[in-house]
Structure 1
Amino acid sequence: MSATDVITPSRLKPMPVSQPVELSPKPSLIGLTREEMGAALKEKGVADKQIKMRVAQLWNWIYVRGVSDFDAMANVSKDMREMLKTHFTIARPEIVEEQVSNDGTRKWLLRYPPRGAGRPVEVETVYIPEEGRGTLCISSQVGCSLTCSFCHTGTQRLVRNLTAEEILSQLLLARDRLGDFPDREAPQGTIMPAEGRKVSNIVMMGMGEPLYNFDSVKTALLIASDGDGLSLSKRRITLSTSGVVPEIYRTGEEIGVMLAISLHAVRDDLRDMLVPINKKYPLKELMDACRAYPGLSNARRITFEYVMLKGVNDSLEDAKGLIQLLKGVPAKINLIPFNPWPGTNYQCSDWEHIEKFADFINSAGYASPIRTPRGRDILAACGQLKSESERMRKTERLAFEAMMIANHGED
């Protein structure tokens, strides 16, 4: 969507969703490592000599064929399928709502069964089709604890971490809905890349701070990049953090994916306000961790995300400070026009101002693309996610739509 597109309520396109599913207490095989899956099968009576073969079968059906029903596993015996159905599940989460933006961006509101004595929880997942690729933005937590002042998600309290299964199931469900598994078809009229995978890239940039849920995120991303399953290249997986310094090195060493830093300010006093985790891990510590990131090179640059806030962090002095801060770090700077949400006091920098900011950074030798806002009309853009358990009242939604129309052309 261009900066000059008018957004009107009529462009919201709610899509048919799945019927509510029975909340199953059975454990899922999704998100288990091969070793964990083998142990689970052994506990249910599968012979030791069959474990390796059975795990390979299940891995292929779940992650290559993308089945969500044990009865679809044609080369698994009936008795084995009955045992699997009795004790396990590979079901997807319930789709509470699916929305499609005028620019083809899709947002799913997903509901997960309760864990233990908890209650069902909901998260949002976003698919962004682009020329030559399709990117899925995945959530790692229900809510967020970081309270970044410009972020809608930060206004929702943290409920809990997502499990590796719940993280991976967002990818599996998206591939289901987009026809990205063998013998599947996407809904008619879906905007997708013309060739190749429909979901070619994933970014851990949805709800939550991934590095506050390190173990589950690690397991999910290692399964997503497993060459015998979903087989996504680690160069096409990006994990974004607001600056959990102790886990940054571990991310490179143990997961090996691309790194993005939610930076947004070049002075500690301002970043303390915009990204409060900076009070715990100030800029010097953050940049030291970035310089030590395993595998860092011109071919494996760190992406620094910088939201453009009018009169807050968009001056020429800020641009100069950004160059100084990143000195010596192979980096790309993503400039993000601020995406408004109900109740925010921030405004997006003027478009011409953003372009001048980008030109200055480019002239210093850093790539600084301006991220095209996507899915704003369905609150699917960067910083706008907030789950249905904290959904806007109808009056708030209408007020937001009116604000977007009134502010047309300001960003």
Structure 2
Amino acid sequence: MRDFSQESGTHKSVSTKENILGVTRDDLSTFFTEHGGSSFHAKEVMEAIYRQNIRCFSQIDSITEKYRELLIEHFVIELPQIVKVQGSEDTTRKYLFQLHDGRYIESVLIPATPLEDGTRSERMTVCVSSQVGCAYGCKFCASGLDGLTRNLSTAEIISQLVAIQEHSRKTVTNVVFMGMGEPLANFKNLNKALDIIVGHWGLHLAPRSVTVSTSGLVPMIRKLAEREQQVSLAISLHGATNEVRDKIMPVNSKWDVDELFDALHYFASTNKQRITLEYILIQGINDALEQANILAQKAKKLGGFVNLIPYNTVEGLEWERPSDEHCKLFRDTVKATGVMTTMRLEKGHDIDAACGQLRLKEMKKTAES
């Protein structure tokens, strides 16, 4: 881990101090108040970290030396080590990070698709991880092949965004929790990370530009709906009926399609953002046109948006993607009902961009060395 807290900014691999990237302004205000300061000091520190990109507490000249020393005594600013960056022809970049305990996680930087006139929007989306591995075992996903190791801390979630901004020299405008792990299974740390991401004192992204994707943890979907600062929601659906979804999503045995859509309707009743139904098209598994019709009916009733994704080949899994022609037919079947539908020809196919693939390769290489 990179440690920027000391006067010299020298590297430390492990620190017992708290990583300030996981601290909210309210947390920091409480800290300063308990040490004779005020919320003013918290405001200035957050301004220095997230607006001025200061990475050494000793360089924050808007607070006195007393409080700079206090920060150095109690906190660090740590970013994960970048082990590998894979760039692709479409400028998507995949980052493999190593955490302080030697574990690996992945994040992906996805620039906006060029517009029809050849220009490119300024949108920069980062797909972040929320756990090391995953316990939910979605059958198309490489993240769960090695099981769940642990949750990421709030700081480890935020540090992915900060590290990518610094490395790429691009300003992140959108965040999607679609990387490794099930975000809602790490709700406490996720919720705090969301506060930092959308806080005007933090990364200051518009709530509508932040999307949490879940495999379908019904109780936590309801809890997410009750956040004061609401964010967007995407559901890793991949089957419109229990019979089909059971083949792909083990979580469906705990909360079936009907229970899931009950929770989605509750979320929709509290949130102005349209829910996205993510549907990976897998040949011979869930790509029948009957599924397209049922999916369209459910999406229309929910007022949801359907995002179709041709299967991205994962080493170690035998499933295949349907032909482009069949994918388009499935899309057109859904779209014909009036449901807003897109088909994502995924970026980064040439850089192992499916969740967990780069991590698995690195783990295998490490084990063999």
Q: TM-score, normalised by structure 2?
A: 0.89
Q: Aligned with 1:155: secondary structure?
A: coil
CA shift at 1:289, angstroms?
A: 0.6
CA shift at 1:102, angstroms?
A: 1.9
- 1:124 counterpart = 2:111: no
For the 8 Å contact 1:144–1:209, the answer to whether it is kept is yes
- 1:138 counterpart = 2:122: no
Match of 1:377?
350
- 1:237 counterpart = 2:210: yes
Residues 202-217 of structure 1 mapped to structure 2, 5 A cutoff: 202-217=175-190
Pairing partner for 2:282 from 286, 289, 309? 309
Pairing partner for 1:148 from 138, 155, 170? 138
CA distance in 1, matches of 2:107, 2:245: 27
For the 8 Å contact 1:296–1:302, the answer to whether it is kept is no
CA distance in 1, matches of 2:209, 2:297: 28
Match of 1:402?
none
Pairing partner for 1:293 from 242, 264, 267? 267
- 1:23 counterpart = 2:45: no
CA shift at 1:339, angstroms?
A: 0.6
Residues 36-115 of structure 1 mapped to structure 2, 5 A cutoff: 36-42=27-33, 46-47=35-36, 50-113=37-100
Match of 1:190?
none
CA shift at 1:137, angstroms?
A: 0.3
* Count of residues in correspondence between the two structures: 350
Structure 1 window deviating more from structure 2 (349-358 vs 264-273): it is 264-273
Q: Aligned with 1:359: secondary structure?
A: helix
For the 8 Å contact 1:145–1:154, the answer to whether it is kept is yes
CA distance in 1, matches of 2:174, 2:159: 15
Match of 2:239?
265
For the 8 Å contact 1:144–1:157, the answer to whether it is kept is yes
CA shift at 1:28, angstroms?
A: 1.4
CA shift at 1:385, angstroms?
A: 4.4
CA distance in 2, matches of 1:331, 1:296: 14
User: Quick one: which amino acid aligns to residue 329 of structure 1?
Assistant: L
- 1:161 counterpart = 2:151: yes
- 1:387 counterpart = 2:359: yes
CA distance in 2, matches of 1:165, 1:206: 16
For the 8 Å contact 2:231–2:273, the answer to whether it is kept is no
CA distance in 2, matches of 1:210, 1:241: 7
Q: Aligned with 2:163: secondary structure?
A: helix
For the 8 Å contact 2:173–2:209, the answer to whether it is kept is yes
Match of 1:280?
254
CA distance in 2, matches of 1:376, 1:251: 31
Structure 1 window deviating more from structure 2 (152-161 vs 275-284): it is 152-161
Residues 186-225 of structure 1 mapped to structure 2, 5 A cutoff: 198-225=171-198
Structure 1 window deviating more from structure 2 (307-316 vs 74-83): it is 74-83
CA distance in 1, matches of 2:24, 2:173: 22
CA distance in 2, matches of 1:340, 1:202: 24
CA distance in 2, matches of 1:306, 1:223: 29
User: Quick one: which amino acid aligns to residue 238 of structure 1?
Assistant: T
CA shift at 1:392, angstroms?
A: 4.0
Match of 1:400?
none
Q: CA-atom RMSD, angstroms?
A: 2.2
For the 8 Å contact 1:68–1:92, the answer to whether it is kept is no
Instruction: Tell me the alpha carbon deviations over residues 20-53 of structure 1, each in whole angstroms, 9 at most, x when there is no partner.
Output: 752222111222122322343455xx31xx2211
Quote the sequence identity (%). 37
CA distance in 2, matches of 1:106, 1:23: 27
Instruction: Tell me the alpha carbon deviations over residues 44-74 of structure 1, each in whole angstroms, 9 at most, x when there is no partner.
Output: xx31xx2211111111112222222213313
CA distance in 2, matches of 1:22, 1:41: 27
User: Quick one: which amino acid aligns to residue 391 of structure 1?
Assistant: M
Match of 2:324?
351
Q: Aligned with 2:251: secondary structure?
A: helix
For the 8 Å contact 1:136–1:201, the answer to whether it is kept is yes
Q: 1:41 to 1:228 in 2, by over 3 A?
A: closer
For the 8 Å contact 1:143–1:386, the answer to whether it is kept is no
CA shift at 1:142, angstroms?
A: 0.5
CA distance in 2, matches of 1:358, 1:134: 26
Instruction: Tell me the alpha carbon deviations over residues 257-304 of structure 1, each in whole angstroms, 9 at most, x when there is no partner.
Output: 00100000112122112000000000000011111115567x621100
Pairing partner for 1:246 from 219, 223, 238? 219
CA shift at 1:310, angstroms?
A: 0.7
For the 8 Å contact 2:226–2:270, the answer to whether it is kept is no
Instruction: Tell me the alpha carbon deviations over residues 133-181 of structure 1, each in whole angstroms, 9 at most, x when there is no partner.
Output: 111001110100011111111212101111111111111111112224x
CA distance in 1, matches of 2:270, 2:306: 15
User: Quick one: which amino acid aligns to residue 269 of structure 1?
Assistant: E
Gaps of 5+ in 1: 1-18, 114-118, 181-197, 397-411
Instruction: Tell me the alpha carbon deviations over residues 93-113 of structure 1, each in whole angstroms, 9 at most, x when there is no partner.
Output: 211222212211111111222
Structure 1 window deviating more from structure 2 (29-38 vs 275-284): it is 29-38
User: Quick one: which amino acid aligns to residue 107 of structure 1?
Assistant: K
For the 8 Å contact 2:277–2:299, the answer to whether it is kept is no
CA shift at 1:353, angstroms?
A: 0.5
Q: 1:392 to 1:336 in 2, by over 3 A?
A: farther
